[in-house]
Amino acid sequence: MEFLSGVKKKDIIGISELLSGDYVGKTVKLNGAVHNIRDMGEVAFVILRKAEGLVQCVYEEGKTDFDLKDLSEESTVEVTGVAAAEERAPHGFEIRLRSIRILSKPAEILPLAINKWKMNTSLETRLALRPIALRNVRERAKFKIQEGIVRGFREFLFEEGFTEIRTPKIVSRGAEGGANVFRLNYFNKKAELGQSPQFYKQTMVGVYDRVFEAAPVFRAEKHNTTRHLNEYISLDFEMGYIDGFEDVMAMETGFLQYTMELLKRDYQKELEMLEVKLPVIDRIPQVRFDRAKELVSEKYDRKIRNPFDLEPEEEVLIGRYFKEEYDSDFVFVTHYPSKKRPFYAMDDPEDARFTLSFDLLYKGLEVTTGGQRIHEYSMILEKMEKRGMNPEDIKDYLMIFKYGMPPHGGLGIGLERLTMRLLDEQNVRETALFPRDVTRLEP
């Protein structure tokens, strides 16, 4: 009988090990996909693609035990050769090949030139051929940076005493209400795909004080714009025992500061590849919703058409205003009108027409919505009554207030939108691995 005792150590070398310099002049073995072949006659350069980057391998007739004609791009291989320093090669080293073993071969020629620095194809083509397009080094670099954002979110919140939770995405009723929900037949019961983990993360504040989650949410909005998706990843946190919604904004500011430093430290290669300039976040200005509308109306001679909401053009102008006046890519817009916020939003005690809530705009695009929540049972019942809501519909959620909740607040960050702005992309689909919108359900 055989037993497994843990991870099996293999004699395959990775790029990080080769970068140590300990293997120069030594025979090594590594694997990867053939990204490109540059045949120069007696010598050829075989570029392997690995998760960490590209590796240059040198094929020499008579020295490499393999017929180069049998090798094709996107074959996966295992190679053996001697590691040598080479300044002109990626990472400053190359492998002088002695043998090549083919692990698999593609059945057809690639429909995209993924080995080009820029594929020069339309977004629609890249999305239709997404499984292949993502192999391009620049395309996949976007999602390494996105990984860094999620890492920063997790690491920072762990340091701040938060507990990571997992909440259901099949629910009986959406937290936001309204018609923008995907309805399901759940064993002959009515169900929906969750628009937000709001009810559950508030519930868990009563358990752990501070909680967070990074997970998908679903919005059945029929917007076919460059900023909307019907499924996206929401970075959510909720924190108890706050003094005010300013505590939530301060926590997000800390997360952004931590994450930019993390990206600078661990994702420099991807940042340079995509020519990303990280924002400086020493401090983030905040402005009231009504005042923000007045400022852009005055400076840019734009009439205020809707006093209760921010139009996309207004968001762009607010972002422009605070960049010009305060050199800030970010701005917190606070005190949104109560009629535009969910029933659980805490109204401003000084003026109940407004809420203790905020959006964070990044380069003129809303990437975060958050605020303080109602925590008193009688207060939330009163607000529901004013909106014509039936407490019986969400009695499980209301249970937490009936039996005591601390002052609390939280937020939700759209991961794809945040990444989109960081990379200066023009369409949020660029920063979704497999985007879901009003027309796309595949691949």
Chain segment 208-244, per-residue pLDDT in tens: 999 999 999 999 988 889 999 999 999 999 999 999 9
Confidence of residue 174 (pLDDT cuts 50, 70, 90): low
Residue 178, pLDDT above cutoff 80: no
pLDDT at 57 over 90: yes
Q: In the CATH scheme, what is the code of domain 137-431? A: 3.30.930.10
Q: Say if residue 11's pLDDT is above 90.
A: no
pTM score: 0.94
For residue 177, the model assigns a pLDDT of 61
Q: What is the CATH number of domain 15-104?
A: 2.40.50.140
Beta bridge mates, 342: none
The segment with the largest mean pLDDT, out of 14-18, 19-23, 263-267, is 263-267
pLDDT of residue 245 exceeding 70: yes
The full set of domain ranges for the chain reads 15-104, 137-431
Cβ 108 vs Cβ 72: under 8 Å: no
Average pLDDT over residues 96-108: 94
